[in-house]
Structure 1
C-alpha cells in the first residue's frame, strides 16, 4: 500500500466514523425547549463538535491500524474478495 492509498484509506475511515459519531449525544433546540423563531426545531443546540472530532480521530486511527495491518500482512488479498473470479489465473486483463 502506497502513501497515497494510506491517506485515502484513512480519510474514508475518518469521514465514515465522523458520520457515525456526530449524532451521538446531540441536543436539539426542541430537546432544550428553546426553539429560535425561523429555525427548524431539530437544529442542534449543543453538539460537542470539538470533542467528537477528537473521538473520531482516535477511533479512525485504531481502525486504520487494524485495516492497514490486515492489508499489509497479506492475510486478506483482493483475490479473496473476488466473488466472481475475475482476477484469478488466466483472467483477461
Structure 2
C-alpha cells in the first residue's frame, strides 16, 4: 500500500486523478447505501477531508536542521521534504473510510 501511494504521488496529475476518483467513489457509496444527497455527501466529505488533512500533515516531517539541509534565507524549522502529494493521498483514503463510517452512524443518532 505504501509503495502504491508513493507511485501515485510521483506526478501531480496522477495524484489529482486519484484524489478525485477515490472521493467520487466514497461519495457515490454513501449516496447509494445511506440515502444522502450528493450535495450532503460532498459537504460531509469535504469537512472530514479538511479536518484529517491537518491531522496528517505533521506525520513524518523532518525540519531542515534535522535533515542537515538548511536553505539560506529560510526558517531552519521549515520542513525539508513535506511530501504533500503523499499526504493528500493518505488523507483521501482515510477520509473515504471515515465518510462511510460516519454516514452509517448518522441515521442511528436520529439526525
Give the shorter-chain TM-score range.
Answer: 0.7 to 0.9
Q: Which residue of 2 aligns with 1:81?
A: none
> How far is the alpha carbon of 1:38 from its aligned partner?
1.1
Q: Which residue of 1 aligns with 2:50?
A: 15
2:66 to 28, 31, 40: 31
2:109 partner SS = coil
Q: Which residue of 1 aligns with 2:109?
A: 76
Q: Which residue of 2 aligns with 1:4?
A: 39
More strand by share: 1
State the aligned residue count: 76
More helix by share: 2
Task: State TM-score, norm by structure 2.
Answer: 0.63
Segments of 4+ moved more than 3 angstroms:
none
Q: Structure 1 residue 63 and structure 2 residue 95: aligned?
A: no
1:26 partner SS = coil
Q: Larger relative contact order (C-alpha < 8 A, sep ≥ 6)?
A: 2
> How far is the alpha carbon of 1:34 from its aligned partner?
2.1
Unaligned runs of 5+ in 1: 79-93
* Whole-angstrom distance in 1 between the partners of 2:82 and 2:74: 16
Q: Which residue of 2 aligns with 1:87?
A: none
Q: Which residue of 1 aligns with 2:17?
A: none
* Whole-angstrom distance in 2 between the partners of 1:26 and 1:47: 6
Q: From the CA coordinates, give the structure whose radius of gyration is larger.
A: 1
